[in-house]
Every structure is written in C-alpha cells, then in structure tokens.
Structure 1
Amino acid sequence: MEKYQPKNDWIIICPFLHVEGMAIFPFILLRKEKPSAVLLNHERIHLRQQIELLILPFYILYLLAYLSNRICGQAHQQAYRNIIFEKEAYQNEKQLDYLRKRRAWTYWRKRVE
C-alpha cells in the first residue's frame, strides 16, 4: 500500500470521532494521526462531491438518501453504504489516482446506468 503523501488538505485530528474519517468541507477530520492513503482518498472523493454540489446541497442530499434508505427498512450500515456518494467513494478509494481522471457527477451517472 502506498504511503500517504501530504497534499494541501486541511486535516484535523479528532480522537473522539466514532468513525475513522469524515469530510466536512474544507476539512478532513480523522481519528488517527497517520491515516492510510485509501482513507484519505475516500475522504477527498467526498470533498470533490461537496464542491460539485456547492457544499450545502451535498449534505442535504446525503441526509435525505440516508433517511430514505432507513425508511425503506435498511439497517444503519446498509443505509449508509447505499448512499450514492458513499458508493462512489468506496468503489474508487483504492485507486489513488482516481481524482485525477474522475469525471464530474460520477455518482449520478452510475445511478442512471
């Protein structure tokens, strides 16, 4: 696995987080000080999604998707993993060059296909 090479990320270490990482534009919140390159790539994908949707609509759509999945009977983890933004991030997190070749609105394209 490739080592993390610091970029221009605004990273905040939050040992109290209940998850490994979280992207809240423009920050990446991490539970541990030395994250894997895969985790950082996953969170950077979310930052790109947030920028595409002009930030606030991303959070609204994310929450609505999660709530919709829960109302449809999915357990927490399944509802979370079935959010279109999470699907894109999980499917591509190991491709560390993904953001260089990624096309805009990829999460919508995959849903339509």
Structure 2
Amino acid sequence: MILISKYITPKGYQGITLYPFVFLRDSKLKRNVVLINHERIHLKQQLELLILPFYIWYGIEFLFRLYQFKNWNSAYNNISFEREAYTNEKDLNYLKSRPLFSFKRFL
C-alpha cells in the first residue's frame, strides 16, 4: 500500500518502505515507476527476512558501512539491500525472476 507522508519520509529521500507500506514524500511520485519498483524490491527483501531481522541487518550494515566509508551517503549507497534495489530498479520485471535471498550477491 502506497501512502503519502512528508513527515515519515526522511528529509532528502523520496520514499521509504516500512512493511507493508511504502511512504512517498509527494503524491506525484506515485507515477514514478522506477521509484515504485525500487520500493517494491525492499518490500520483497523485508518479507524474505521476516521483517524484523531485515531492519536489524539493515541497521547493523549501515553502521558498519558508515565506519568503513566515514560518509553518510556512501554508507547508505553501499548497504547490500540498497545496492540490489538501485541495480535492479529500472528492470520492471526483476521481481518476477528474482531468486530468494538475492541481496546476498551484493554483500
């Protein structure tokens, strides 16, 4: 389910996925098929890891990458879940053929 909230979506980001919801900063973004596909990839990742472990893994990996790169944006862009989503966001058929736990290829 896609919801619009500029308060839940972090500043500087267009959307955030908190299973089972996708929050977008602006209603116009609903027409952005690449962004929606990116967020749907995150929905699949979250479901695959039974939701809570996803957030734990995401947070720990972000902290590790922040220590590694010493830069917020570099840390965020190098999280395995984000790398998978950004790499495949333009492939609108990706989720149909995505293997289970494929984010591990991006570790």
TM-score (norm 2): 0.90
For 1:59 and 1:21, locate their aligned partners in 2 and report how far apart those are by CA, in whole Å. 16
In the aligned structure 2, how far is the partner of 1:15 from the partner of 1:102? 31
How far apart are the structure 2 equivalents of 1:110 and 1:85?
A: 8
Alignment of 1:27 with 2:18, yes or no, is no
Q: Which runs of 5+ in 1 are unaligned?
A: 1-9
Percent same amino acid at aligned positions? 46
SS at match of 2:46: helix
Moved over 2 A (4+): none
Q: Where in structure 2 are there 5+ consecutive unaligned residues?
A: none
Other-structure match for 1:103: 99
Aligned to 2:67: 71
Q: What is the root-mean-square deviation in Å for CA atoms of aligned residues?
A: 1.1
- Larger radius of gyration, structure 1 or 2? 1
Letter in 2 for 1:14: S
Amino acid at match of 2:15: G
> What SS does structure 2 have at the residue aligned with 1:38?
helix
Hey, which of these two has a bigger chunk of helix by percent?
Answer: 2
How far the C-alpha of 1:43 sits from its partner, in A, is 0.3
